[in-house]
Structure 1
Amino acid sequence: MEKRSGKRAVKGESLAHRSNQNSIVYCSVCMADTPSDPSDFFPMSVHYQERLSAAGRTSGGFFKREGRAKDHEVLVCRLIDRPLRPTMPKGFYYETQILSWVFSYDGIHSPDCVAVTAAGIAMALSEVPNKQTIAGVRIGMINDQFVVNPTTEQMEDSELDLMMAGTDSAILMIEGFCDFLTEEKLLQAVETGQDISGDELVKALQIKEKIPRRKALSALEEKVIMILSEQGYVSKDELSGPIGNLADIVEEEDEDEVIEDGEVDEGDVHIKPVSRKPHRQLFSEVDVKLVFKEVSSKYLRRRIVEWVASEDPEI
């Protein structure tokens, strides 16, 4: 397996080339500059195409251009979309496009599992703030032996066609069929695929470390942290420093604290009404909510760890 990046599509967010012998898959990621209207799903589209030119052929019909996507290409688009979508943060509404097509096909090594890993690498190198990197692998079984990324000829004799994708800690997608295998064999195949995916992820993370990329909304996150620290709600050390240095802000508050006139008691939060004045909108409401939730989650996670450690001395 070979991976390359940064040779083409310099105007896009990121690009990844992944090859299996002479089968090469190109994958690029582009993200919109402004968020779309909030909805109940992440606006991501995946396009996968196997062009005739990849095999050194051309259409024999009157129309030489590539037509609409074939059923197999649509299914591969879904294989790429399904493991990537759960890694996206909730509330991120920037339209994202993943474009993947086969540059070269040798007729031996199937490019669909290669496309899944290429999309995971391209997404990791882009500004899209996905939580984890994914990788894909195909597992076959010939003569009771598992074969990783089998060739098309080997797949004709295989009793199993298992397509998997996931992160280093979870399996996000399983697709395939088998010829009346036992449950134990299927579990062994899944474990084998997870181990191979872990090896692929190690290589992908090495590429990510060599090519660091600033994720979207990171500047806004720094702005939110700065505002919260200036107002005294949280300090930067509580988000990045050691757990032992966390300030116990909630426990320091007096339960019988007197609420001043003009304030509204909302549980542990005291809100002072302010006059509404027209102001210039620096960031969209969706972005602010998304980043504020991320900062709050970081703070709460650290406080939970500190509380559990203080309650149970054996931890």
Structure 2
Amino acid sequence: MMTKVELDIKGKSLVIETGQMAKQSSGAVVIKYGDTVVLATAVADKRVKEGLDFFPLTIDYQEKTYSAGKIPGGFFKREGKPSEKEVLTSRLIDRPIRPLFPKGFYSETQGIASVLSYGSENVSDILGIIGMSAAIHISDIPFNGPVGAVRIGRLKGDKDLIINPELSEVDNLDLNLVVAGTEDAVTMVEGGGAEVSELLILEAIDLAHKEIKRVVAVQNELRKLVGKEKRQLVALEERPEFAKQIRDFVAERMKEAIRIPGKQRRQEALDIILEDTIKHFNTLENGEKFFGDSAKDLTRDIANIFDDYEKEIVRNMILYEGVRADGRKPDEIRHIECHTGILPRAHGSALFIRGETQSLVVTTLGTAEDEQKIDSLEGETYKSFMLHYNFPPFSVGEVKPLRSPGRREIGHGALAERALKYVIPSKEIFPYTIRVVSDILESNGSSSMATVCGATLSLMDAGVPISSPVAGIAMGLIKEEEKVVVLTDILGLEDHLGDMDFKVAGTENGITAFQMDVKISGVSREIMRNALEQARIGRLYILDRMKEAMPFPKKELSPHAPRIYTMQIKQDKIRDVIGTGGKVIRGIIEQTGVKIDINDTGLINIASPDEESAKKAIDIINGIVAEAELGRIYMGKVVRIADFGAFVEILPGVDGLLHISQISDKRIAKVTDELNVGDEVLVKVIEIDNQGRIRLSRKEAMRERQ
């Protein structure tokens, strides 16, 4: 039997149904809003995976092409590798849900959100979050949810925030945030804006949470109707005496090791202490005494106690001493270095260093032919600005096989791209395709924000006229009851042991990208406001350091970059430049060696390796599209002779009548007494009538030239 609940949002019903589809899942719902329909399923293995210290959760979002009435492209004509949007949306669903599974639940769990119908509401990702939460909430899977989600936007030039802006409105938004959370608190924010204020971000989060509470309530209503009894978790056994012995054994050495400034040296020291601890406590006697099993390997139990104590020491140092593991104060930023123009053949390059995090960023300029074609449910689009992020294993001193970019790399690249897209010049101002690549050479906290800073420097080094430099900074939070410390420019260790991490990127004028994940409940608006203000101060400091290295974009492009020249012609002349079957434009390309792109408005981009070739192509096109000017003298060519005069071509495809009376000052009996087909003749335009017909005079042209 099918059960459904409904909620009105912006005059449309959000409908959540269960009981008809995918009934063998642990939990499944069909969620609808307008013409958009998403099936969300959740399945958890009945068996518990032994020996794990993490929760094995996989979330997948997939868009069926039939949902938009399309057939997949390519040879196989079926969905294949996940698109970038599918990967990013999978992460978007995963992030607010993952922290809500209880500690000690280690059954392998998979959630799949499938778009079955794709409407113009622009909510398939939002429905994915809500649907996945609802599917888990009504299942027997232990879960401290549910989670609600909403998109908040603001149209350019408008003051009012809007809930779930539609597809037709997306390109006109100057704020676009996805916000997710529980009934008690916001737990995730993802989005960006056109240099928006911190206050606007807070207002958007407040509005979102009001809507989230309504979405949570309707999921609770569904659980009351059809919810399954949750699985019982095996209580984690506390062994305080065993933990106390380990903590006493490592206390002094661990406190000293944690204060070692360098990441690798610190970790090496901690690894040695852990190794000594395992050797000392992993004994038959301890297995029998504390676990009732002399054969039990205690390595994992010892490591968990060790990690918990390390976390406690680091957090207490920050909360009660105001000192971080590398010796900094909470609001202190690590040493920054900026180097530009370091790769001679690259169009633009920069190395941005912040502490032990290094990002080598390279900008490459291309033509319209280099744009990325995206075939999505919305239709075909072209992308002229791309940012790609790479995280090789050597950046953290590890050995791993190289693979194609993973979810994390795609996500970090998308965040940095979003931070910069609002300052990238329009195609009319800068008609290049831009690709930025960030290779992380060393990492100890917030390589994505280092990518933003390095990309800004690299773009300016390439001569891209960005409207403002952009910097990014990663912030953290340590909270114990009423004691709260906000951290600026967090280390990898602080990211791992902290209660919240959020990344803010922007210019001097405002925020362009924002990403937040909260691991605890109860982060108040006041804490958020203080954290955003601390992030603003940090961002401005970093921008000052970047401006010292490169205050403005270069005026000239690299000599190795293509040159693109722009010209505008009338729309009715486009066909003349292209020619029948492209004959004319191909001829220009063959003569000059340039690349030519013409759009429907008559804007022409001419890409050339040198100025001379481009000028030659421009002259040819100007000749094709030129129109006769009254009173101007032309060197024309006789193309046809009649009894009353000659027709002279003065421009390609443009001819006029040279009447017999206008050929010479003296009287002539026949036109052929003076002119023949193929003769070049100097003529002046003496009249252009309402129908565009041109009258010419040879005798007036000769008089003026004498």
TM-score (norm 1): 0.68
Inter-partner Cα distance in structure 2 for 1:190 and 1:90: 28
Inter-partner Cα distance in structure 1 for 2:223 and 2:172: 37
Q: Are the counterparts in 2 of residues 14 and 122 from structure 1 also a CA contact under 8 Å?
A: yes
1:27 to 21, 33, 40: 40
How far did residue 110 of structure 1 move?
3.0
**Equivalent position of 1:135 in the other structure:** 148
Q: Are the counterparts in 2 of residues 24 and 104 from structure 1 also a CA contact under 8 Å?
A: yes
Q: Are the counterparts in 1 of residues 56 and 106 from structure 2 also a CA contact under 8 Å?
A: yes
Render the CA deviation track for 1:62-92: whole Å, top value 9, x for unaligned.
Answer: 2112111111111111111111111011121
Inter-partner Cα distance in structure 2 for 1:60 and 1:78: 25
Inter-partner Cα distance in structure 2 for 1:164 and 1:37: 35
Instruction: Confirm or deny that 1:69 pairs with 2:100.
Output: no
**Equivalent position of 1:152 in the other structure:** 167
4+ aligned runs moved over 4 Å, structure 1: none
How far did residue 38 of structure 1 move?
3.0
| Larger relative contact order (Cα-Cα within 8 Å, sequence gap ≥ 6) | 1
1:123 to 109, 127, 136: 136
Residue identity in the other structure for 1:14:
G
Render the CA deviation track for 1:239-267: whole Å, top value 9, x for unaligned.
Answer: xxxxxxxxxxxxxxxxxxxxxxxxxxxxx
Inter-partner Cα distance in structure 2 for 1:2 and 1:187: 29
Q: Are the counterparts in 2 of residues 76 and 112 from structure 1 also a CA contact under 8 Å?
A: yes
Report the number of matched residues: 228
Q: Indicate the SS of the match to 1:159.
A: strand
Render the CA deviation track for 1:85-136: whole Å, top value 9, x for unaligned.
Answer: 1101112100000011101002443311111010111110111111121011
Q: Are the counterparts in 2 of residues 160 and 179 from structure 1 also a CA contact under 8 Å?
A: yes
Q: Are the counterparts in 1 of residues 148 and 182 from structure 2 also a CA contact under 8 Å?
A: yes
**Equivalent position of 2:188 in the other structure:** 173
Inter-partner Cα distance in structure 2 for 1:134 and 1:38: 29
**Equivalent position of 2:213 in the other structure:** 198
Q: Indicate the SS of the match to 2:146.
A: coil
Instruction: Confirm or deny that 1:6 pairs with 2:19.
Output: yes
Q: Are the counterparts in 2 of residues 134 and 167 from structure 1 also a CA contact under 8 Å?
A: yes
Structure with greater strand percent: 2
How far did residue 183 of structure 1 move?
1.4
Residue identity in the other structure for 1:175:
E
How far did residue 52 of structure 1 move?
0.7
Inter-partner Cα distance in structure 2 for 1:60 and 1:169: 45
Instruction: Confirm or deny that 1:216 pairs with 2:234.
Output: no
Inter-partner Cα distance in structure 2 for 1:135 and 1:15: 16
Inter-partner Cα distance in structure 1 for 2:103 and 2:73: 47
**Equivalent position of 2:125 in the other structure:** 112
Q: Are the counterparts in 1 of residues 37 and 117 from structure 2 also a CA contact under 8 Å?
A: yes
2:63 to 50, 55, 58: 50
Inter-partner Cα distance in structure 2 for 1:209 and 1:196: 21
How far did residue 40 of structure 1 move?
2.7
Inter-partner Cα distance in structure 1 for 2:127 and 2:119: 13
Render the CA deviation track for 1:128-176: whole Å, top value 9, x for unaligned.
Answer: 1111210111000121111111101111111111001110001111100
Residue identity in the other structure for 2:226:
I
Alignment of 1:278-293 (within 5 A): none
How far did residue 195 of structure 1 move?
0.5
Inter-partner Cα distance in structure 2 for 1:8 and 1:108: 23
Inter-partner Cα distance in structure 2 for 1:172 and 1:51: 29
2:103 to 86, 90, 99: 90
Q: Are the counterparts in 2 of residues 38 and 93 from structure 1 also a CA contact under 8 Å?
A: no
Q: Are the counterparts in 1 of residues 35 and 118 from structure 2 also a CA contact under 8 Å?
A: yes
Residue identity in the other structure for 2:53:
D
**Equivalent position of 1:294 in the other structure:** none
Residue identity in the other structure for 2:181:
G
Inter-partner Cα distance in structure 1 for 2:46 and 2:129: 25
Residue identity in the other structure for 1:66:
E
**Equivalent position of 1:290 in the other structure:** none
Q: Indicate the SS of the match to 1:179.
A: strand
Residue identity in the other structure for 2:35:
N
Q: Indicate the SS of the match to 2:196.
A: coil
Q: Indicate the SS of the match to 1:86.
A: helix
Residue identity in the other structure for 2:189:
I
Instruction: Confirm or deny that 1:183 pairs with 2:195.
Output: no
Q: Are the counterparts in 2 of residues 6 and 14 from structure 1 also a CA contact under 8 Å?
A: no
How far did residue 37 of structure 1 move?
2.3
How far did residue 61 of structure 1 move?
2.8
Inter-partner Cα distance in structure 1 for 2:73 and 2:98: 38
Render the CA deviation track for 1:173-207: whole Å, top value 9, x for unaligned.
Answer: 11000111111111110000011001111111111
Inter-partner Cα distance in structure 1 for 2:28 and 2:22: 6
**Bigger Rg, structure 1 or 2:** 2
Q: Indicate the SS of the match to 1:27.
A: strand
Inter-partner Cα distance in structure 2 for 1:50 and 1:125: 24
Alignment of 1:256-295 (within 5 A): none
2:53 to 40, 44, 58: 40
Inter-partner Cα distance in structure 2 for 1:34 and 1:202: 31
Residue identity in the other structure for 2:159:
D
How far did residue 39 of structure 1 move?
2.3
Q: Indicate the SS of the match to 2:173.
A: coil
Q: Indicate the SS of the match to 2:23.
A: coil
Q: Are the counterparts in 2 of residues 26 and 100 from structure 1 also a CA contact under 8 Å?
A: yes
Q: Indicate the SS of the match to 2:161.
A: strand
Inter-partner Cα distance in structure 1 for 2:225 and 2:151: 27
Q: Are the counterparts in 2 of residues 46 and 77 from structure 1 also a CA contact under 8 Å?
A: yes
Inter-partner Cα distance in structure 2 for 1:22 and 1:94: 35
How far did residue 60 of structure 1 move?
3.6
Q: Are the counterparts in 1 of residues 139 and 227 from structure 2 also a CA contact under 8 Å?
A: no
**Equivalent position of 1:291 in the other structure:** none
Inter-partner Cα distance in structure 2 for 1:163 and 1:69: 21
Residue identity in the other structure for 1:136:
A
Q: Indicate the SS of the match to 1:45.
A: strand
Q: Indicate the SS of the match to 1:204.
A: helix
